[in-house]
Structure 1
Amino acid sequence: MPARPVPPRRRLPREQRARQLLDVAWALVGEEGTDALSLGRLAEAAGVTKPVAYDHFVTRNGLLAALYQDYDQRQTAVFEERIGKARAQLRERARAIAGGYIACVLSQGREIQGILAALAGSPELMEVKRRYQQDFVARCAEWLGGFAAGGDVPEAGYWAILGAAESMSEAVAAGSVEQAVAEVELERLIVSTVKRV
């Protein structure tokens, strides 16, 4: 089913237009897949001219990077909310991270998997993904570092948590593992990674 075009173009402030274009791009990825995503197709589905889409994203890679950034911002907000509600205890923080990571991936559905696959296809886009991964690792150090018995968790431990979170989320999204089971296993892995120090 093709993405539904929006009503005729009207002049929107730049920020609102960018939001509209991102929302239409997410819908296109969900309905037609990442391979069908181009700035021309986006402009058509959004009811704007091609120059408008190009002005916002410049290239297809720019659009993919913007979609990943959009996802990451929502993911960060979910984590901040969950961590803010969690008591300052290791298990509570681990539960907030595990549940937050999986919930974010599921909220974006197969669309984020397509974006991640596209990111892997370009060195420029892999650098974008790597930056956001490094941010996640740094946030984990902030959220969990104080609970390590021997001082702090080695950075490799936080990368292991990220790898497990990515794999577990993919398994849940694919229907291979139930969400509740995945959250419990990821929470256990986080706790054991922090406690082993």
Structure 2
Amino acid sequence: MNAGDRWIYVGDSTSAGIFIGSPPVRQSAENLITTNLAKNTGCYIQNLSWGGARVADGNVPMFGWASNFSTILRVSGPPVAKGLIIALGTNDWAQTSVSGAEFIASYRGMVRAAKFHGLAVVGMTPLWRSDGANRPMKADGAWNIVEWGGLIADICSQEGAKFINGYEAPLTPANFGDGVHPDEAGHLLWEPYVRTKMQGFNYMN
């Protein structure tokens, strides 16, 4: 990520805003991960994160980002953006209507489509969450949040995309007021972790 490069960041509520308390209340976006990632690298980040976002449709036709990839292309350019950061998966994991097979196919489709259109791809697993040890029963199996992240890691490896393990970000349970959404201190810990990983991929210098 060189200074001036443009990246598209597709995430869910964890990167759509800074939330405090339970139920969560949105705070200033001044220290949001995408805000500080842009500020600290000189790149331009178009944050397409929103609450409830996921990769797969599940039982809602045309809901997931895989079905709406044309939006990413419209945001990308021309000129084509440098790359796409996919920070999704926690809502796919939580929704029993999203099977493992659908998630894998949808995520793989997003990665392939992005690469076909000239975008570098970085996949990032969900962060820690208080219920992450649970295994929601889906049509074809049950995974905890770490195992679900393993599906993302496998797809990225198979498709030649870069991968960041969000679960290993240096946040603590205290940074998640409602057990899911990181607070401002959490975002301030999350951003340099992601930035360092991006630098390791030679996307940031």
* TM value normalised by structure 2: 0.29
* TM value normalised by structure 1: 0.30
Pick the structure with more helix per residue: 1
Tell which structure's C-alpha radius of gyration is larger.
1
Pick the structure with more strand per residue: 2
